[in-house]
Amino acid sequence: MGKLDGKVALVTGASRGIGAATCRLGAAAGYAVAVNYRSEEERAEALCRELREAGTRAV
């Protein structure tokens, strides 16, 4: 179990750009990821699917 396993990262503005990249990096580091967005629901859902398919807990 890694040092970050079991930790949760809440990323705001996560549906695109730097926020989405931060989600991917956090997931790669072992965080579960909470994706927060304002208006890009489809992009946020796509990102969550991508992270889940890679084995990360994402909401």
**36, 12 in Cβ contact below 8 A?**
yes
Res. 5: pLDDT tops 90: no
Q: Give pTM, 2 decimals.
A: 0.88
- Residue 14 has a pLDDT of 95
- Residue 2 has a pLDDT of 67
DSSP 39: S
3-42 burial by CB neighbour count: b if 16+ within 10 A, else e?
eeeeeebebeebbeeebbebbbebbeeebbbbbebeebee
